[in-house]
Structure 1
Amino acid sequence: MKASLGRYVAAGVLLVGVALIVWTAVDAPDDGSGVAEAVNAQSATSQTAPSEAPPTTATVEAAPPEPVTATTAAPVPTTTTEAPEPIPVLGTAFTLSKLDGWLNTGATSLEEIRADNEITVVQFWTFGCRNCKKTLDALAQLHADFRDRGVEVVGVHSPEFGYEADVDNIIEAAAELGVVWPIALDTTKYNFHVWQEGPTGYWPRVYVIDSDNQIRFDRRGDGAHTYRELYATVERLLAEA
């Protein structure tokens, strides 16, 4: 009987405990404290967790400027144009004498031709001379350019061979070669040797005589540079006259 009563008491206590547990589970108010705690915990975690550092950009410092050194500009060289050397006086010109006559002119002497001009160009030549022929174009150019400016060309024809002494041959050759300036006929070569002192004479040889009868140019041979220099000399003498 006592044992049964004890079992009944124990069962009653057990039922009361179960009832309390059920009441607590069913009637406990849901205040959302669990979610709030979870949110608060997450928020706290977010607030306390260290934030990621922003990406850094490497800074490149500019190189310091090169030091500026003051320099002195080099002086500009000055060019001075020196006056050309004066044209030398080489002596007094000879006259032309013992001639056999003149062609291409009404003059009868070198002095008469010189009197009408500032400058006289005298060339010793002969029509059969190959070197003489090479100079005729240059003389023709000079004659054409300066004949109206007080310059005259005189060709002193001094024959080397017998056929060159014939006047008809000289006239024919002069026409063929375009020699239109005065020709002095030095058939005996007297003037050829007077003007060219010494044992040797040259064909061609050219002189420039100024208004004072002074020789200002004397060259022999047929070189192109010689006749370029001749032209330049005549031009300068005209400018200085």
Structure 2
Amino acid sequence: MNVNLALIGLVGGVITGLSPCILPVLPVILLSGGAQGARADTSARGRRPYLVVAGLVLSFSVFTLVGTLVLAALPLSQAVIRWMGLGALVLLGIGLIVPRVERWLEAPFSWIPQRRVGTEDGGFLLGLALGTVYVPCAGPVLAAIAVAGATGRIGAGTLVLTGGFALGTGLSLLLFALAGRAVAERVSAFRRRQRAIRIASGVAVLGLALALTFNVASVVQRVIPDYTAALSHGIERLGPPVHESTGDPLLAACVADSLYQAPEDVQDCGPAPAFPQVTRWLNTPGGQPVDLAALRGKVVLVDFWTFDCINCRHVIPHIDSWYRDHHSQGLEVVSVHTPEYAFEREIGSVQAAAGRLGVGYPIAVDNDYASWSAWNVLAWPTIFVVDASGTVRYIATGEGRYDQTERVIETLLRQAG
């Protein structure tokens, strides 16, 4: 089983490394990890792409697995790792542009024999900083890793899955870094203008930090569909489940089937669970909880999402459209925000993101993953449609199938009269 989990993680990592979610870090990988590695000294030239990718994969894996647990045990903001990463990127970007700053950054590491942290070997530090801000798409494999890490259920299977995922995403990112280096080696202008490449690399690093700070990257990603979503969801069919079901078995089976393909018509997936242990309710009068039993007689759409998930941001405009068109006919929407990374647990950040994305319906902040477990969710985003009697009749995981989902909503509204 561990071999199968490792293969699933590997394939999932490769797909993630080729998906649109790497676009924010891609210029840095190509320039600083790739083109800047084109050197006359072949030994130095050979190291940098590998060091940048190795640092990124290592820090991302560690913080995804234990970052939430460590921060929960300390009196620190859940977003501190991300802000430290952004600060480090700013310093490293300035260091690439201004040699004096680079020497200042190297000073604390002067005790390490024959190592210059700011140059070739500094690629590893750059990779470490990138790993703290790298937010890949939330496919089922990554969801299993993130939830296991956040809830402390880290077993041997989780470690194997994480190792496979890290290796897979590292291979994809290394492919881009080596491609950037190959281009630089074959174009004489790159070899003659190493100083200009360093400056361009620094500008790319600073640009990434600014784009992430002011959510520019999110705006760009919203207009690019995830062309790897179907592959990402389909890889779980390659082997044993990577998730542990804790809720109703009938609902769990329907959710698992939705990873592969949403049903063509309404189905019976059992009674809709409640929303247990909600950290806080947003967009409700006085922060009062939403009781599904009180919504009997109406059709309810439940959307599990997290605000820095590219796929979730693609789905939200469609949900808004359905809500506008069908609310007067009896459609209600409940949004369940379950964080993937530690910085997404901040209530203020959730509120700000909801405002940017136009999420005006009730939001259950599910920081303890209680609703996630009760509904047997496997990946972000997942949509449930509940009929007027409180039965789950349709589930869609990931992007797409919007016309089909709306037809189901309309069918259930007609049945409800």
Provide TM-score, normalisation by structure 1: 0.59
- Which residue matches 2:280? 101
1:135-185 deviations in whole A, cap 9, x for unaligned? 011001001011111111111000011111100000000000111111011
**Offset at residue 87 of structure 1 (A):** 2.7
- Which residue matches 1:207? 384
Question: Is 1:208–1:217's contact at 8 Å kept on the other side of the alignment?
Answer: yes
**Offset at residue 230 of structure 1 (A):** 1.2
Alignment of 1:184-223 (within 5 A): 184-196=364-376, 201-223=378-400
Q: Quickly say closer, same or farther: Cα 1:86–1:112, change in 2 above 3 A.
A: closer
- Which residue matches 1:228? 403
Question: Is 1:158–1:187's contact at 8 Å kept on the other side of the alignment?
Answer: yes
Q: Quickly say closer, same or farther: Cα 1:113–1:143, change in 2 above 3 A.
A: farther
| SS of 1:152 mapped into structure 2 | strand
Alpha-carbon distance in structure 1 between the residues aligned to 2:266 and 2:396:
14
- Which residue matches 1:14? none
1:94-146 deviations in whole A, cap 9, x for unaligned? 1111001211112413326524x511000110001011000011001001011
Alignment of 1:81-120 (within 5 A): 87-106=266-285, 107-111=288-292, 114-115=295-296, 118-120=298-300
Q: Quickly say closer, same or farther: Cα 1:86–1:222, change in 2 above 3 A.
A: closer
Alignment of 1:49-128 (within 5 A): 87-106=266-285, 107-111=288-292, 114-115=295-296, 118-128=298-308
Question: Is 1:205–1:220's contact at 8 Å kept on the other side of the alignment?
Answer: yes
Question: Is 1:113–1:152's contact at 8 Å kept on the other side of the alignment?
Answer: no
Q: Quickly say closer, same or farther: Cα 1:171–1:89, change in 2 above 3 A.
A: same
The amino acid across from 1:209 in the alignment is V
Q: Quickly say closer, same or farther: Cα 1:193–1:86, change in 2 above 3 A.
A: closer
The percent identity for this pair of structures is 31
Poorly superposed stretches of 4+, deviation over 6 Å: none
Q: Please state if 1:132 is matched with 2:312.
A: yes
The amino acid across from 2:413 in the alignment is L
The amino acid across from 2:366 in the alignment is D
| SS of 2:323 mapped into structure 1 | helix
**Offset at residue 93 of structure 1 (A):** 1.0
Q: Which has the higher strand share?
A: 1
1:60-80 deviations in whole A, cap 9, x for unaligned? xxxxxxxxxxxxxxxxxxxxx
Alpha-carbon distance in structure 1 between the residues aligned to 2:384 and 2:278:
19
The amino acid across from 2:369 in the alignment is K
Long gaps (5+) in structure 2: 1-263
The amino acid across from 1:208 in the alignment is V
1:37-71 deviations in whole A, cap 9, x for unaligned? xxxxxxxxxxxxxxxxxxxxxxxxxxxxxxxxxxx
Q: Please state if 1:240 is matched with 2:389.
A: no
| SS of 1:108 mapped into structure 2 | coil
The amino acid across from 2:299 in the alignment is I
The amino acid across from 1:238 in the alignment is L
| SS of 1:164 mapped into structure 2 | helix
- Which residue matches 1:177? 357
| SS of 2:289 mapped into structure 1 | coil
Question: Is 1:207–1:219's contact at 8 Å kept on the other side of the alignment?
Answer: yes
Provide TM-score, normalisation by structure 2: 0.35
Alpha-carbon distance in structure 2 between the residues aligned to 1:136 and 1:86:
22
| SS of 2:336 mapped into structure 1 | strand
2:332 equivalent among 149, 152, 164: 152
| Larger-gyration structure (1/2) | 1
The amino acid across from 2:382 in the alignment is R
Q: Which moved more, 1:104-113 or 1:142-151?
A: 104-113
Q: Quickly say closer, same or farther: Cα 1:86–1:218, change in 2 above 3 A.
A: closer
Q: Which moved more, 1:98-107 or 1:148-157?
A: 98-107
Q: Which has the higher helix share?
A: 2
How many residue pairs end up in the alignment?
A: 151
**Offset at residue 86 of structure 1 (A):** 6.7
The amino acid across from 2:266 in the alignment is I
